[in-house]
Each structure stands twice: as structure tokens, then as C-alpha cells.
Structure 1
Amino acid sequence: MSYLGIDLGTSGLRALLVGTDGVPIGSAESSYAVSNPAPGWAEQDPADWIAALDMAVEDLRARYPAFAELRGIGVAGHMHGATLLDAGDAVLRPCILWNDTRSEQEAAALDAMADVRALSANIVFPGFTAPKLLWVKRHEPEVFAKVAKVLLPAAYLNHHLTGAHVADMSDSAGTSWLDVGARGWSERLLEAGEMRRDQMPELVEGCAPAGDLRPELRRRWGLSGPVVVCGGAGDNAAAACGIGALQEGAGFVSLGTSGVVLLARERFSPAPETAVHTFCHAVPDHWYQMGVMLSATDSLNWLSRITSTRPADLTGELGDALQPPGDVRFLPYLSGERTPHNDSRIRGGFTGIATSTDRAGLTRAVLEGVSFGLRDSLEALKSTGADVGTLTAIGGGSASEYWLRLLATVLGVPLTIPAGREFGAALGAARLAQIAVTGAQPAEVITAPETRREIAPDATLAPAYDAAYQAFRAAYPGLKQIQ
């Protein structure tokens, strides 16, 4: 048997074929674009996701005979997106994505309502799904009137695969419609968001079956036997499954487009006042908490664009040996911020620039600013009572040795670097599919990858970076620090 893990990302889709032994066989990728029709808006055509999936599947079929033995599929997707379907399951408008901030007013109004934080376990951020629907009702009433189902991106791909309207708990926890503690749709939250229960998909755990692959797709993909599609997961929950973050305190720090510090929790411990997200994990009776910053490697990519220098070349100029904190300070808020500020309008900036400042100095400032922002998330997580030991470093930014040494020192936490390349959301999704097909216990399948090496904090520079972090916070008293 083989299993297919699909990572539906913001800029592209990745499909990973995994064998019965859990070892990756091969992968395929296909990209698509994000539309920005107005400042702060981000949309995507769901048809592009289907086209990308078709291309990836054809690639896997052509290169890997094991694809013919496919028995399970799991989908991980970027969270919070609003895909609106009419009564005939036709898409009514482009999907409004997670990093779209147009619904700031609607989010604030929802967040101020009684019981909303208590039930949803989170602040209502502008990027969440519920305020998006209120925006549509206010600005596109003709579209809102036709909405029969609201599906998150992963659930929409599940619908394409099975024909059913099914979503998992981890992804649905980011809508502000789910009672995260009870793991079910909340009538009170739906009422607050002016939605109905029949407009929601059915809920299953991420490792449970959500349906069978449609016969039409089985024929097209050259498959003879039945194929189970599991509930799947939101991208971060799936990534946690990929690196084995299931037990209390296990977690990762992700240097992706956005930055994430995530810890698995075996108990429900919400603390929305910290701007920490508390979501259901992809397996029963587990949750996870994470702090999120919106511009992690995106900050480095921005510097890359304006200097016409590849990100790897920018970080390469710094070498591998960690230097003391620089004189230039960078606010990493190019797209607003979640943890701990909850401010979609906050923006970035440099201070301390002098005539002697060169490109390497700006790069150091960007890496330090992002690292300080991630420490904000770690401190917020600690305030919830979470224990932090060693974190696994993942994401594109983890290719930089300098950044890893800097981040370990700023966080004051050892960072483990997994062996091999396959430990992300696509592997996590494939593992969920394997559990759904075989009935295995999650802990038997969701295991940590082999560690290639560990990066410890630099003890000699830790005090200087701790002082620089405190200066980072104290120098901007106007920022909204949520405690």
C-alpha cells in the first residue's frame, strides 16, 4: 500500500507519496498565484488548486509505480480561507485567504461579543474565517445570499476528492465558529457570525475517514481499489504530525513566509488574551498552541527584492559564526502582526541606520528582528503554562546556519535539525491517511524524525541578545503588547 499526503500551500501544492513503512517514495509540486485586488486583500481561485493537484498526480503516476497501490489520502491546507459554494457546489467568488486583512472591523466587532473568546479559545483575528463572511455579507450581499456551504481550502480539496462536505477539527478551529474545547460547531458562535449550522461542513478528526475517493478520480488516476480520504489538517497541525509533535511540550519553530512557534498540548489550556492561538490537534483529545508572526522569511524576501540579491546570498554574506547584536534594529511587521500585538495595521521599519550601514548590516537587522518577534511568541506561550524544551527547526529559513545559531540564542532553546528533507505538512497528512486506513494508534505513526544535529544557544552571546531583545520591546512603547 501507499499513501498520499497533499500540502495545499499559499503559493503551491506539494504531493508526497509514502510507503507502508512510512518512508517517502517521491514527491511532485505545482505552483499557482495569489491575487491582490486591493491593498490588504489576498485571494485565490480554487480551480487553480485542482489544476495543481491534477499536475502533481500525473507526475507521481508517471514516475512511481507505487502510486498504483494508493489506499489513503490526507490533505493539509493553509488555514482560515473562505471558499464559498452555492447550492450546486459551484464556487461563488475567489477564496479569501488567511493573510487577507479586509475584515478588520468585522473581526473587532465579533471579538467584542460575549462568549466569543471563551468558546472559540482565541481572539478573532481579521484573517480568521468568520469575519470574512461578515465582510461578504456587508459588501457583497448578492454573493452572501447564495452561500450554501463555507469550506476551508483543505476541506474544498476534500470535497473535490470525495464529493462530501467534510472538514477536520484542527482546520476548523481557526474559523471562530468552532467550540475548540468541545470540538464541535457552536450555535452561539454561528449566531454571532450570522451563519447557520447547515452552511458548515460535517466534522471529523484529522486521522478519521472523511470519505472515499470518487470513482471518476479513481479511474482517471488508474487506481483499482478503494481509496480512503481522511479528515486531514490545517497546515501547522499537519507539520506537527510530520515532525512528531504530539505529546505535551513537543513542538517546532518554523521560519517560513510566516513564522510559527508551536507546542503540542495534551490538555485544553486557552489563553486568548496573549494572542496565542489555541487550536485542536489533528488527533482526538489533543490540542496545540502557537504564536504566529506574519512576516518571517517574507521580511528577508522583501530585503532580497529591494537589494536585487538572492536571500541565500544575503545570509551567506554573514558567514556561519554568530556575531553580537547589530546597531540597526528592524521591526518585522511588514504585513501587520498577530502574536503578541494583534494589530493588522502595524508596519515595519529600521532604526539606527548610519552612513556606515551596509547591506550585511541590514540583513543582520532583519534576521534579528524576526528572531525577536518569534521570541515574543515563545514568551506568550510560556505565559500559558507550557513547558518548552527542545524545538525542531523547519521552514525555508532554517537553511541558513547563521539564522539557526541566532534563533537558538535569542530563544534560549536548543534547536534540533531533522535528518533528511521529509518532515513537513505533506508527510503529516500522509501519516493521518495511514492512521485512517489501518486504524493504528496515532502515537505509533506520528513519530519524531531522526535528528541530524542540535544547535545550542551561544552562551557567550546570550546575555547580549537578551538585552537586545529587551531593548527591542522597550524602544517601541506605542506597540500594543498583549500580556
Structure 2
Amino acid sequence: MTYVIGIDLGTSAVKSVLVDRTGNVVREESEQYPLYQPKPGYSEQEAEDWVEKTVLSLNKLLAASGVQPEEIEGISFSGQMHGLVLVGEDGRALRRAILWNDTRTTPQCRKIEQVLGDKLLKIARNRALEGFTLPKILWVQEHEPEILDQAALFLLPKDYVRLRLTGQAAMDYSDAAGTLLLDVGGKRWSEEIGAAFGLKPSLFPELVESFDDTGALLPEMQQRTGLTGATRVYAGGADNACGAIGAGILSEGQTMCSIGTSGVVLSYETRRDLDFEGKVHFFNHSEKDAFYIMGVTLAAGYSMQWFRETFGGGVSFEELLGGIGEVSPGANGLLFTPYIVGERTPHPDADIRGSFIGIDASHKLPHFARAVMEGITFSLRESIDILRAAGKTVDKVVSIGGGAKNKEWLQMQADVFGADVVKLESEQGPAMGAAMLAAFGSGWFETLQDCASEFIRESVTYKPDAERAQTYDRLFAVYQDVYGQTAELNRKLSAFRGGS
């Protein structure tokens, strides 16, 4: 038997999965690392922490599984997107990485818009948002110019780990698409955007496909992980692209809903000339010459976590959600908008904040819990409606993440989306997608679709209930009104934020 390893470099931890030829997960390991927030809006990590914890997880994975090192054919990666790692001539990070959820770069976003105008959407196909990489580079250019002068390369998180493991620097298209520096349709670095901001061409790493072979482990890393030089290392992809692969979103008409800290609606696409005017993200997929359209709810699962921690009195999620099945759709006239950290799709607004609308004395904890769940799901439907408005058929949605762990929520997604919602038999998310890239790169399958057919199995399908779907259609219209009715109020309230 031979195996592959998928490594998912997340924001809080690195997860490694050992997968056999039938897609069974033989063993998994997870190692956490710290997040640094030295100032409001800052979010950073030590790039070397990722390396050390990845090496540790691989070592533990191998030791605990009992699999022989020579049986492991390939490794690939999924990585948190957008994070800026500036690398010196010695191949080491020059400063802490600035992460996707860092929001210090609003002035740089406005500068990008001013300098590029409508060229940004034509070339990079995405709006200038604080999470993306180019604004972070411009922040360093303005505030730490000596660091940028020393930089030999900029990389994204998983690419830095791969550099340290193999000595080879590269970036795949799916992750590069989230930098605002890639010509997404042309699959090349945009010389025009780089030159507009005085970025030296040598900063840009080589571009590769997600399944390309990027070398073998360095001798030092072979010794530390227990692996051998025979194991090939494949480029890997952005976490959302790998999550899509791990959910089987690899052909036209397939759509995924992922509810983690943030929420994502993602749909496969082959047409490179679609224009969504920046309302949703348009990125290269990890499959060659394919793309994906993605809408994002910034605080999806995080809204539920916040609610539990603030109002749940220490109860578990299971206890918190235990009573929602007894509450009818609409939570007895209570509505929640999940804008508690701002919003991304369809409202790229850093100032908007969440609301409970319609509170009365009859509402108890289960009503609020259901309203939070419904509000998150309504926000995700806004992304689905954008896809439908562009002519895409969305009649089946694969649900992964926290939203797939509760049957009431799965049924709610079906009712709100007006589509069949599918739960997978075994869900490993982006780590499985990374393992599938390693399997495909290793020649186990002729296509990624063939790999998905072998590795991914559907478990339960939830179909929309006509009566509940009609109720949710009416309530969704009210939900869509809330943003416009509260946007100005929230801008006024922003002056009072920041105190204790």
C-alpha cells in the first residue's frame, strides 16, 4: 500500500492527514501556533512557527501510523490565503507574516483604487480589500521600506513552508489569484500592476500549477520528519480551492457552502470572461484552466461562537442548538444580521455591524439561537443569488464545515437556498483537497475528477420543504432591507467604538 499526505496550514493550527489509495484517512495530526495582535486591526504570525509545527505534525503522523516512510509517495498543501511573507536572500522570513484577517491596510486599498481605477477589476478580477496581499506589500513599502528593500521574494504562507521543506520557491495560481497582482485570466503576474507601485520584478516567485512537482525534502527535513527523499512535494493550493477539491467541486454546476469562522459559497467555473463587477471573488481553481466564483460572509460560524460565548452561559454548541427545532422558521419575528466584524459579500463594508431586529418579551434563548443561524444562512444565500443572476444553475449544494454538523442547519440551508443540500460521508476539508492534489500529482488518477469519484462519498441529502422555503423567501426580503436601513446608523456609531 502507498499513501499521500495533505497538509492544511490554517490560521490557528496545521492539520496533516495520511490518506491511502481509496481515500481513507489513516491518521491525522494537528498542531497549534500563536496569533499576534500587537495593535487593533493587526493580525500576524511567525512564519517559522508554521515550519516547526508542520515538521512536528509530520513526525507524529509517521510515528503514530506505523506506515513506512518509503510508502509515502507525495505531499501537498492547502494554505490560508493572502498572508504576506517577505523572504530575504537567506530564504528566511524578514518579519512576521501579515495575515488575511489583518485590517490595517484601508489607506493602501484606497491608493490601489486611485492608481489603477477600473484596470484592477479587468486584470486582477477582484476589489482592493484589506485582506489581500498587495495592500500589505504597500503598507510595508510605506512604513517599513528597509524591510521591502531587503526582500528577495514575497510568498504566501504555505509557499514559505514548502520553501523551507524543499529549498524551492514557487506559488500556485489559485493562491496567487488572491494577491491582486495576478492577471487571473492570463495566468501570469501583471507587470502593469507591479510597475504601478514600483515593485521590483524579482519579488515575484515562479508560478506553477497546484499539482506540479516542486521537489523533494531537503536532507535536514528528511531527518526531522522521518520521511525520505523519494517522497515528492507538490505545490498545493489556496485553502478555498483545496476545500472545493475536497468537496468534489470539480465540474460545471457544482457549488459548495462552507461554514467555518467565515462562510463561503463557492461555485466551479470555466468561463474566464465573466464580469461580476467585484461583487464576488473570481479566482483560479487548483484544477488546470478552471476558476471558481466565491462569496464570503466574514462572520458565519464566528457569529454563532460569539453568541454562545456572550449569551450562552457556558453551554456547549449542542446544548445551545438543542431547542431550535421547536422554534418555527422566522424565530417568531426575530431577525439577525451577521455583520459583527463588517461584511464582504455582497456588501464590502468594514463599518457595518450586526443587528437583532424585532426583539420582544416572548423571545427566549432558542429564538435568538435560531435567528443567528438563519441570519448566517441568509447572508450565504445572497452569494447564491448572485451566482443565479449570472445564469448559473444552483440546485445542489455540498455543505461542509460547522454548518454540516447540525441536521437542523442542513435542512435550513436547503429551505433557504431552495436547493438540495448534501452532507459528505467523511469530510476532511482542505486537508483532503491537498491530499488529492498529491494523489493526482503522483499519477494515481488520470484526472482530479477521477480522484474525487474514488475519495469522496455523499452521505445524506436534505431537500427543501416547500412551505418553509416560501416562509424564508418572505423573510429573506426583509433581511435584505436591513443593510440599507442600518448602514448610515452604523457609520455614525463607529465614532464610539474602541472603548471598553
Would you say the 8 A contact 1:2–1:67 is kept in 2?
A: no
Would you say the 8 A contact 1:60–1:67 is kept in 2?
A: no
The superposition leaves residues 214-263 of structure 1 with CA deviations (integer Å, 9 ceiling, x where unpaired) of 12212333334422111100001001111211111212101110000001
What does residue 64 of structure 1 align with?
65
Q: TM-score normalised to the size of structure 2? A: 0.92
Shift of 1:268: 1.4
- Partners of 2:366 and 2:390 in 1: CA distance: 37
SS in 1 for 2:150: coil
Would you say the 8 A contact 1:326–1:365 is kept in 2?
A: no
- Partners of 1:74 and 1:369 in 2: CA distance: 36
What does residue 410 of structure 2 align with?
404
For this pair of structures, how many residues does the alignment match? Answer: 480
The worse-fitting range, judged by mean Cα deviation, of 317-326 and 205-214 is: 317-326
What does residue 278 of structure 1 align with?
282
- Partners of 1:5 and 1:193 in 2: CA distance: 36
SS in 2 for 1:56: helix
RMSD: 1.9
Shift of 1:176: 0.2
Shift of 1:478: 4.7
Residue 194 to residue 466, structure 1, CA distance change in 2 (3 Å)? farther
Q: TM-score normalised to the size of structure 1? A: 0.95
- Partners of 2:14 and 2:328 in 1: CA distance: 35
- Equivalent positions of 1:156-171 (< 5 A) are 156-171=160-175
Find out whether 1:249 has 2:253 as its counterpart: yes
Task: From 430, 455, 460, give the equivalent of 2:462.
Answer: 455
Residue 226 to residue 321, structure 1, CA distance change in 2 (3 Å)? farther
Task: From 120, 127, 131, give the equivalent of 1:127.
Answer: 131
Task: Specify the code of the residue in structure 2 equivalent to 1:76.
Answer: S
What does residue 371 of structure 1 align with?
377
Find out whether 1:357 has 2:358 as its counterpart: no
What does residue 291 of structure 1 align with?
295
Residue 124 to residue 289, structure 1, CA distance change in 2 (3 Å)? same
Shift of 1:325: 4.3
SS in 1 for 2:286: coil
What does residue 55 of structure 1 align with?
56
- Partners of 2:265 and 2:381 in 1: CA distance: 9
The worse-fitting range, judged by mean Cα deviation, of 352-361 and 174-183 is: 352-361
The superposition leaves residues 50-109 of structure 1 with CA deviations (integer Å, 9 ceiling, x where unpaired) of 222122112212211225111211010010001111222221221111111111121132
What does residue 388 of structure 2 align with?
382
Shift of 1:123: 1.1
- Partners of 1:404 and 1:268 in 2: CA distance: 32
Shift of 1:274: 4.5
Task: From 243, 262, 271, give the equivalent of 2:266.
Answer: 262
Task: Specify the code of the residue in structure 2 equivalent to 1:441.
Answer: T
Structure 1 gap ranges (5+)? none
- Equivalent positions of 1:80-229 (< 5 A) are 80-112=82-114, 113-114=116-117, 115-229=119-233
Residue 342 to residue 408, structure 1, CA distance change in 2 (3 Å)? same
- Partners of 1:184 and 1:211 in 2: CA distance: 22
Find out whether 1:331 has 2:326 as its counterpart: no
The superposition leaves residues 392-413 of structure 1 with CA deviations (integer Å, 9 ceiling, x where unpaired) of 1100232111111112111111
- Partners of 2:12 and 2:319 in 1: CA distance: 22
- Partners of 1:279 and 1:110 in 2: CA distance: 19
Shift of 1:469: 0.6
What does residue 480 of structure 2 align with?
473
- Partners of 2:360 and 2:47 in 1: CA distance: 47
Shift of 1:322: 5.9
Task: Specify the code of the residue in structure 2 equivalent to 1:433.
Answer: A
Shift of 1:139: 2.0
